[in-house]
């Protein structure tokens, strides 16, 4: 446990340093300002098709010798397997932009007017912020470094058929967006009102405060999985103390329908620290997923019970989101929380890692 604690604290230090670095912080703040400028007052949500997150029918079984066929995962966790830092955030951002642009175009008196039909990848042209700037990539050395990072994210999306690259010498510049299901069909915004469980709805503020830019790919994939499984499995009733909207990601669901690895699933603890979900552990003595087999009689312990607090206790398509969750930039919420004690590893309660400021304890 001591070694695990040291590794986790080292990762937190690395993450804090990255978010505190001036160029990164400036780029993320600029991205959230530009995303906020694209919103429409009548569009308070972004809708994502279920097939991006959840596979139906279930994935084919595989044995230990053959290994997992990653290509049978849903597109979200195929992207996660590709280990590109920006691919998931880029795809979600492109969906956000498409839906906000459509909302402006449908308005009688759009204000501001809909942005141009095509943005440049790294340069701000014709009053249109570049695509790279919308996902928080630092603007230094645009021509080489920023373009290279952005194009690698496009490559990852192309591998999962979530975009098509152009057929000319400027294939990255002329890329087009595809549907969330990985079918390769051109992207179309879901028509009509979103419905459960065909769609997952996320609040617009999730994007304009930059949560999709500061969460890691594993955290993003796990958060979407928790929210969507809650939509699929839980009764359509509000969250109350007597009827909490708790769900759990059983190993069979993670394996057969989500393609979510055990390593990615462990990020539920970080999501709980950030307040995006709540965790309820009914297994005595378990610490961040670890428990001795002797304490459970050799049986598999019960999974964590999870509440997607980001959805406000209701199905996502009812869009009863809690605005208080988005009253500050995500980058500030994350850096502040990472300076608190690591949940279940702190030596004493109520003290910060620096030993000088009180910090509430996580329930993860």
Residue 333 and residue 335: Cα distance in Å, rounded? 6
* Tokens describing residue 166: 């152009």
Q: What is the pLDDT of residue 277?
A: 94
Q: With beta carbons less than 8 A apart as the criterion, state whether 45 and 204 touch.
A: yes
What residues contact residue 128 under an 8 Å CB cut-off, 6+ apart? 115, 116, 119, 120
b/e string for 147-175 if b means 16 or more Cβ within 10 A?
bebbbebbebbbebbbbbbeeeeeebeeb
Q: What is the pLDDT of residue 350?
A: 34
* Tokens describing residue 200: 């997952």
Q: For residue 176, what is the enclosing H or E element?
A: strand 176-177
Q: Where are the domains of the chain?
A: 2-290+299-338
Going by the DSSP 8-state scheme, the letter that residue 237 receives in this structure is -
Q: What SS3 string covers 265-319?
A: HCCHHHHHHHCCCEEECCCCCCECCECCHHHHCCCCCCCCEEECHHHCCCCHHHC
How far, in whole angstroms, is CA 130 from its chain's centroid?
Answer: 22
Residue 249 and residue 260: Cα distance in Å, rounded? 10
CA angle, 340 as apex, 337 and 342 as ends, to 5°?
100
Residue 304 and residue 246: Cα distance in Å, rounded? 10
Residue for token pair 């049978």:
72
* Tokens describing residue 36: 């906020």
* Tokens describing residue 93: 């951002």
How many other C-beta atoms are found inside a 10 Å radius of the C-beta of residue 218?
21
Residues forming a β-bridge with 178: 186
Residue 174 and residue 170: Cα distance in Å, rounded? 6
Q: What is the pLDDT of residue 2?
A: 75
Per-residue pLDDT of the chain (364 residues; tens, 9 = 90+): 678 788 888 999 999 999 999 999 999 999 999 999 999 998 999 999 999 999 999 999 988 888 899 999 999 999 999 999 999 999 999 999 999 999 998 887 766 656 666 788 999 988 889 999 999 999 888 888 999 999 999 999 999 999 999 887 789 989 999 999 999 999 999 999 999 899 999 999 999 999 999 999 999 999 999 999 999 886 655 556 555 578 899 999 999 999 999 999 999 999 999 999 998 877 665 666 566 666 656 667 678 899 999 998 888 999 988 888 899 999 999 999 999 988 765 433 333 333 333 333 333 3
Q: What is the pLDDT of residue 359?
A: 37
Residue 188 and residue 190: Cα distance in Å, rounded? 6
Q: What is the pLDDT of residue 84?
A: 97
**String of DSSP letters for 4-30:** HHHHHHHHHHHHHHHHHSHHHHHHHHH
What residues contact residue 356 under an 8 Å CB cut-off, 6+ apart? none
Residue 174 and residue 265: Cα distance in Å, rounded? 35
Per DSSP, the three-state class of 139 is coil
Residue 89 and residue 15: Cα distance in Å, rounded? 17
């Amino acid at each position: 446990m001591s070694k695990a604690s040291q590794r986790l604290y080292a990762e937190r230090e690395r993450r804090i340093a990255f978010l505190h670095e001036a160029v990164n912080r400036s780029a993320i703040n600029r991205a959230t300002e530009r995303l906020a400028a694209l919103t429409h007052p009548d569009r308070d949500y972004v809708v994502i098709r279920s097939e991006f997150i959840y596979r139906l029918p279930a994935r084919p079984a595989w044995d230990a010798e053959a290994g997992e066929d990653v290509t049978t995962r849903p597109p979200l966790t195929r992207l996660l397997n590709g280990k590109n830092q920006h691919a998931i955030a880029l795809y979600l951002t492109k969906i956000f932009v498409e839906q906000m642009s459509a909302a402006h175009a449908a308005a009688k008196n759009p204000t501001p007017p809909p942005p141009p039909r095509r943005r440049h990848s790294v340069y701000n042209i014709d009053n249109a912020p570049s695509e790279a700037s919308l996902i928080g990539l630092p603007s230094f050395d645009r021509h080489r470094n920023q373009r290279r990072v952005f194009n690698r994210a496009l490559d990852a999306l192309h591998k999962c058929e979530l975009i098509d690259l152009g057929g000319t010498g400027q294939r990255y510049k002329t890329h087009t967006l595809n549907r969330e299901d990985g079918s390769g069909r051109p992207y179309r915004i879901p028509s009509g009102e979103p419905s459960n469980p065909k769609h997952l709805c996320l609040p617009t503020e999730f994007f304009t405060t930059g949560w999709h830019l500061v969460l890691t790919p594993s955290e993003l994939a796990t958060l979407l999985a928790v929210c969507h499984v809650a939509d699929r499995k839980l009764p359509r009733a509000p969250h109350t103390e007597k009827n909490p909207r708790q769900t759990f990601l059983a190993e069979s669901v993670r394996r057969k329908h989500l393609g979510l690895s055990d390593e990615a699933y462990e990020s539920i603890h970080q999501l709980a620290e950030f307040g995006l979900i709540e965790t309820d552990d009914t297994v005595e003595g378990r610490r961040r997923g670890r428990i001795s087999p002797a304490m459970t009689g050799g049986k598999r312990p019960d999974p964590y019970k999870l509440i997607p607090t980001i959805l406000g206790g209701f199905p996502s398509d009812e869009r009863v989101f809690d605005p208080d969750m988005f009253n500050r930039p995500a980058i500030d919420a994350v850096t502040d929380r990472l300076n608190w004690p690591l949940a279940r590893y702190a030596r004493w309660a109520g003290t910060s890692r620096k030993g000088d400021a009180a910090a509430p304890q996580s329930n993860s």
